[in-house]
Structure 1
Amino acid sequence: MHSPFLACVVQAAPVYLDLARSVEKAQSLIAQAAEAGAKFIAFPELWLPGYPWWIWLDDIGWADQRGFSQRYREQAMDFEGPEIQAIAGTAARHGIQVLMGAAERAGDRLYISQWLADETGQTLLRRRKLKPGPLELKVFSEGGHQDLPVADTSLGRVGALACAEHRHPLLKHALHVQQEMLHVAAWPSYPLAATSHMLSPDTFLAISRTYATEGCCYVLAPCAPLPAEVADSLCDTPAKAARLRAGGGHAQIFAPNGDPLCTPLPPTQEGLLYARIDPEAAAHARKAFDLSGHSSRADVVRLQGPASLSQPASPEGAP
């Protein structure tokens, strides 16, 4: 059994569309978390170099004309580039695991990616969002069957999904059956007005909380507030300004029984939230409900996929 440790979620914005300065800010936050005693820190979805909020405001032609599309591609993360080495080096210097959300540039494609570096700077997990949302597909490509890993780490088994992937029961189940102890539910921000038809922060927090109880695991839910100056730079009409508002930070950490473990920060405030993670509590929760074991009905329904995601075999004689 792994020992208890302190984990941290980020409620802070990157330096928007500036990869180098955002990496520097990430390094500062990583150091701050480690100095507070944290052994794991989770960043929001697409923290590097920020979420492309213009896709919610106008068509892609408008974004192209304003230069947003080209700049976003230029500032996306190259996983062969120096930024990866910089973050991994910071993780190693401070002895902390780092789960980063980034826009990944691979050839002529962009992906919504999550990457885990351990306390020695080694990559333990790297995945791409399987199905970006309809508006996100204007910018990002889809991941594949290999993008549902759960990694063995010195702290326990760690997995991750991004944003609306948490509304997909089969994607969640694929990780549940791999016995996560710690799950990163990465969200970008919640700055869109209700008229945008985007779900509310309360709904997304409920989804993260439900994930904790279904998976019998701790859930880290990082979330980045949108700075007012960034919102202003993206909105060239009053209608857009009414739709995209500053704030939207709602980070939280949930226990395996679904209890929130942190006092929330105000939606416009930046900071780090901490909670004690006890792997034994997750193991105890799994004694009562375990989708990878005694609570499974693989003889009735089961997930078909790569061998690493397969459920326990059906009982002898079952269909």
Structure 2
Amino acid sequence: MVDYTGAFKAAAIQAEPVWLDADATIEKSIALIEEAARAGAQLIAFPETFVPGYPWWLWLDSPAAGFAFFGRYHENSLTLDGPRFARLLDAARTNAIAVVAGFSERSGGSLYMGQALISADGELVHARRKLKPTHVERTVFGEGDGSDLAVHDTPLGRIGGLCCWEHLQPLTKYAMFSQHEQVHVAAWPSFSVYKGAAYALGPEVNTAASQLYAVEGQVFVLAPCAVVGDAAIDLFCGDDPVKQQLLQRGGGFARIYGPDGRPLADPLPEDAEGILYADIDLSAIAVAKAAADPVGHYSRPDVTRLLLNTTPRRPVEQTAPLAEIFQEPSLAEPETAQA
């Protein structure tokens, strides 16, 4: 493991996607990448499923009613080898900035809640899938596996990421801490649904989850968060007053935290779009860990330990045909050597 002690500027996005329109949202993402790069940022983080936007219909009606959106959502989800995703790779390279993208990933007939770490030279470092979609999300998205709980060496430090309520899963967090993460992207979709009726879904709990992740793991946390605006209300609620009550405008609570849990950027109003910036000095991590390192001197592995299976889980494992494994000897007589 490389020992990083450098400093750089990082950016966390608070913005509204162009709902269910991958191409337009990628255009907007590229503009934000360019803006952050001009401001001197070397890392930019985007909200959960920013492309093509979080599927808010899941929380507003029956699964059957959601089929009206699903075809369009599926078509506007990204494939890792497709031209849309390639535009994000090119934007990172052109602007010399590392990007942590949030998107709906399409693989065959299935969708996954994806995050991708892209290097400043436009290479895909790692793509992961949300390990366990939350509640109604499971009617649309499949699950990731243990290989998705990974932290990666980059020129900026050891970077990892999780989505939304993965930050409420203690063992998942500990798996990330154990890999000596230094910069973490906590991607959120916005806190706009069931306001006042479901406290656990609101900003108080979930910004606290990002802050607690920072102080528990002694890591810098970038917590990008999307915004729900008029376009989302028109698309997902229409003229239905009940749906308009369930999904409300705003919900943007992007944050950046230091390894001691302190806020490093002034927040924007919840209905505003913009970019939060903070200076990241990795040398501060050593000071934070001097007090409590949960996977080091502050652990008790003789009492509690984590079993982490990082093996990729695939529905099909292909093996070579038996004829290729057990080659039958040729029936032809070998040629005799000529004198």
Which residue in the other structure is 2:234 paired with? 232
1:89 paired residue number: 90
- The residue identity in structure 1 corresponding to 2:233 is A
Q: Who is 1:317 aligned against?
A: none
Structure 2 letter corresponding to 1:41? I
CA contact (8 A) 1:215 1:291 kept: yes
CA distance in structure 2 between the aligned counterparts of 1:120 and 1:174, rounded to whole angstroms: 28
Matched pairs, number: 306
Equivalence for 1:315: none
Q: Name the TM-score, length of structure 2 as normaliser.
A: 0.88
Change (3 A) 1:197 1:54: farther
CA distance in 2, matches of 1:133, 1:207: 15
Structure 2 distance, partners of 1:307, 1:76, is 26
- 8 Å contact kept, 2:19–2:231: no
In the alignment, is residue 38 of structure 1 matched against residue 41 of structure 2? Answer: yes
SS at match of 1:194: coil
The residue aligned with 1:207 is 209
Aligned to 1:280: 283
The one-letter code of the counterpart of 1:131 is K
The runs of at least 4 aligned residues of structure 1 exceeding 4 Å deviation read none
Structure 1 residue 195 displacement after superposition: 2.2
- Tell me by how many angstroms 1:229 deviates: 2.1
Per the alignment, residue 101 of structure 1 pairs with 102
Q: After superposition, give the CA deviation of every residue in 1:247-288 in whole Å (9 maximum; x if it has no partner).
A: 100001001110011111011100000000001001221222
CA contact (8 A) 1:2 1:155 kept: no
SS in 1 for 2:49: coil
Matches of 1:283 and 1:158 in 2, distance apart?
Answer: 16
Aligned to 1:17: 20
CA contact (8 A) 2:200 2:206 kept: no
Distance 1:305 1:199 in 2: 28
* Cα distance between partner residues in 1 of 2:15 and 2:274: 6
Per-residue CA distance 1:127-160 (angstroms, 9 max, x = gap): 1001001200010011111110101000000010
Matches within 5 A, 1:156-195: 156-192=157-193, 193-195=195-197
**Counterpart for residue 11 of structure 2:** 8
Answer yes or no: is 1:246 the counterpart of 2:246. Answer: no
- Asked if the contact 2:146/2:310 (under 8 Å) is kept, the reply is no
Residue correspondence of structure 1 range 131-150 to structure 2 within 5 A: 131-150=132-151
| Residues 152-188 of structure 1: CA deviation (Å, up to 9, x unaligned) | 0000000100000000000000001111110001000
Instruction: Give the conservation status (yes or no) of the 8 Å contact 2:199–2:205.
Output: no
Alpha-carbon distance in structure 2 between the residues aligned to 1:10 and 1:168: 24
* Mapped partners of 2:153, 2:101: distance in 1: 17
1:316 is aligned to none
Q: Which residue of 2 aligns with 1:116?
A: 117
Structure 2 partner of 1:298: 301
Letter in 1 for 2:174: H
Q: Which amino acid in structure 2 is aligned with residue 153 of structure 1?
A: T
The TM-score, its normalising length taken from structure 1, stands at: 0.93
> Aligned AA for 1:75?
N
- SS of 1:195 mapped into structure 2: coil
Amino acid at match of 2:298: S
CA shift, 1:198, in A, is 4.7
What's the counterpart of residue 324 of structure 2? none
Q: Which residue of 2 aligns with 1:313?
A: none
Q: Matched residues in 2 for 1:21 and 1:2: separation?
A: 38
Cα distance in 2 between the residues matched to 1:209 and 1:195: 23
What is the SS of the residue equivalent to 1:250? coil
Q: Distance in 1 between matches of 2:56 and 2:107?
A: 21
What amino acid maps onto 1:223 in structure 2?
C
When residues 95 and 75 of structure 1 are mapped into structure 2, their CA distance, relative to the original with a 3 A threshold, is same
SS of residue paired to 1:83: helix
Per the TM alignment, residue 306 of structure 1 is displaced from its structure 2 partner at its CA by: 3.4
1:306 & 1:267 partners in 2: Cα distance? 38
Which letter does structure 1 place at the counterpart of 2:85? I
Equivalent residues of 1:33, 1:41 under 8 A apart = yes
Q: Look up the match of 2:331.
A: none
- The verdict on how the C-alpha distance between 1:247 and 1:307 changes in structure 2, with shifts beyond 3 A counting, is closer
How many Å apart are 1:291 and its aligned residue? 2.0
Is the CA contact (8 Å cut-off) linking 1:196 and 1:243 kept in structure 2?
A: no
Q: Give the unaligned 5+ runs of structure 1.
A: 309-319
